Amino acid sequence: MTAPPTTVDLPAVRRAMWRAVLDGDAHGACDVVFPLLDGGLDAEVVLLDVIAKVQAKVGVEWAANRVSVAQEHAASAVNDRVITAVLHHPAARVEDPGRRGRVTVACVDQEWHALPARLLAEVLHLRGWRVDFLGAQVPTPHLIRHVHRTGPLAVALSSSIPTRLPVAHAAISACQATGVPVLVGGAAFGPDGRYARQFGADAWAPDAREAAGILERGLPPTGMETARQAIEDLPHLGDQEFTMVVGTARQLVKQTMVDLEDRIPALRAYTEEQRHHTAEDIAHLVDFLAASLYTDDPELFTRFITWMASILTARGVPATVLRPTLDLLGGQLRDFPRAGHHVERARRALTTAAPAPATSGSQDAV
């Protein structure tokens, strides 16, 4: 892989690209990167140092309420088109494609952020792998069927949202049970990939370059052919707290809504849509609590709460509603010591810490 020529001002390229992407202008975006490819810039640099960076910026800007969700989708669509165009450029021609062997790249089920996985798939393609890219939200049965049918040397799984961790864990174990090693990436696995290790993944990569490097060095066949159950990796699941919180999530949300209206009378004046948004936020919060119980990492829930506080602040919604919500949730989970501990940790973080900069959470790229 070549380093970007010194003549290319990548930050300037990214700024130009950002304007085109935000404008939904795929042609304009192509006009930014094509001259660079014509000038001999490595296609991988365009994919990872321009497109991936721009996409990551979309997430940051969304968190800061400077772009809308719709613009975020538009940006992904434009980036997706630009990637396709870049790959048709002569600079992206691959010598002896597929020479390194076959790998599968997929997002775990319910994972919508396909772009990081697609970028990895294209980088691997450029580096000489035969890549089956299965796209966003791949149900685990599809993935396994594909693995049986094609016998890849490795499976690369992407997940950005921690609430999908149980699904990701199941997918990892299922792939390994077929004898195929699994490389994982994405913000869901924690800043240092700690959940990847916890789930027994064969490797974790913080970005696409590292992932490609790991695959090039080779992952040994996993040797975990006997299917593991989640509890063997996560003995704390034996206390049933995760199971109970997931099983009663809807009731928890309903009860918290009712109690919250008692405590904050202003809520009663909310429109149907506003109430709905509040219910969605609480449901999200319960989902993250479940994920934090699943991994037995109270930090996961605390990170989410401080991130949510910063998101709400950025949108001019008073984050003051978070504290009472946590109080009420903690009250309902009185009989669950581990859940209570996680909620209490988050509550304390909310009081002591200033809102964290809105860079982590659901929007990070692989």
Partner 1 sequence: MPGSERTPADPGRTRPRRSATWAEAPYPVVVADRAGAVVESNDAALTLLPRLRPGAPLDDTVPGWLAASHARLTTPTGDRDDVPAALPGPRAGTGEPVEGMVGDRSFGAHATRRGDGDVVWWLVETTDVRLAEATLAEERRRTSLLAEASNTLLASLNLERCTEATARLAVQHLADAAIVVGPPDGRSLTVTSCATGHPVTRRLVRAEPDIVPGLREALEGFPPVPSRWIDPAALPDWASAEGFTGPVGSVVVTPLPGHGVSAGALVLLRHGDHARFSQSEEVFARLFAARAGAALSAARMYGEQAAITATLTRELLPPTLTQVNGVEFAGGYRAAAAHERVGGDFFDVHAGGDASAETLAVIGDVCGKGLDAAVLTGKIRNTLHALLPLADDHERLLNLLNGALLTTEHARFATLALASVRRDGGQVLLRLTSAGHPPPLLVRADGRVETAATHGTLVGALPTVRASTAETVLQPGETCLMFTDGITEARGGPLGEEMFGEARLRRALGECAGLPAEAVVERVQMLATSWVDSHRHDDMAVVAITAPRHAHLSAVDGHTRGRYTA
- Sign (positive or negative) of CA dihedral 277, 278, 283, 284: positive
Q: Among 19, 53, 146, 197, which residue sits at the site for partner 1 (rule: CB under 8 A)?
A: 146
Residue whose structure tokens are 């997940």:
159
Q: Is the CB of 321 or the CB of 349 nearer to partner 1? A: 321
- CA proximity to 195, closest of 96, 329, 297, 92: 297
Q: Among 110, 243, 248, 359, which residue sits at the site for partner 1 (rule: CB under 8 A)?
A: 110
Question: With binding defined as CB under 8 A, does residue 308 bind partner 1?
Answer: no
Give the distance from CA 227 to its chain's centroid. 26
Question: With binding defined as CB under 8 A, does residue 119 bind partner 1?
Answer: no
Angle at which helices 52-63 and 10-22 cross, to 10°: 60
- Smallest separation (angstroms) from partner 1 to the CB of 348: 26
Q: Which amino acid is at 155?
A: V
d(CA 37, CA 60): 27
Q: Which stretch binds partner 1 (CB under 8 A): 3-11, 142-150, 318-326, 348-356?
A: 142-150
Q: Which amino acid is at 205?
A: A
- Smallest separation (angstroms) from partner 1 to the CB of 149: 5
Question: With binding defined as CB under 8 A, does residue 259 bind partner 1?
Answer: no
- Smallest separation (angstroms) from partner 1 to the CB of 115: 10
Question: With binding defined as CB under 8 A, does residue 118 bind partner 1?
Answer: yes
Q: Among 150, 229, 274, 320, which residue sits at the site for partner 1 (rule: CB under 8 A)?
A: 150
Question: With binding defined as CB under 8 A, does residue 280 bind partner 1?
Answer: yes
d(CA 326, CA 342): 10
Question: With binding defined as CB under 8 A, does residue 178 bind partner 1?
Answer: yes
Question: With binding defined as CB under 8 A, does residue 174 bind partner 1?
Answer: no
Question: With binding defined as CB under 8 A, does residue 47 bind partner 1?
Answer: no
- Smallest separation (angstroms) from partner 1 to the CB of 99: 16
Question: With binding defined as CB under 8 A, does residue 25 bind partner 1?
Answer: yes
Residues 229-258 that bind partner 1 (CB under 8 A): 250, 253-254, 257
Return residues touching partner 1 (CB under 8 A). 24-28, 30, 68-70, 73-74, 76-78, 80-82, 84-85, 87-88, 109-110, 112, 114, 118, 132-143, 145-151, 177-180, 225-226, 250, 253-254, 257, 273, 276, 279-280, 282-283
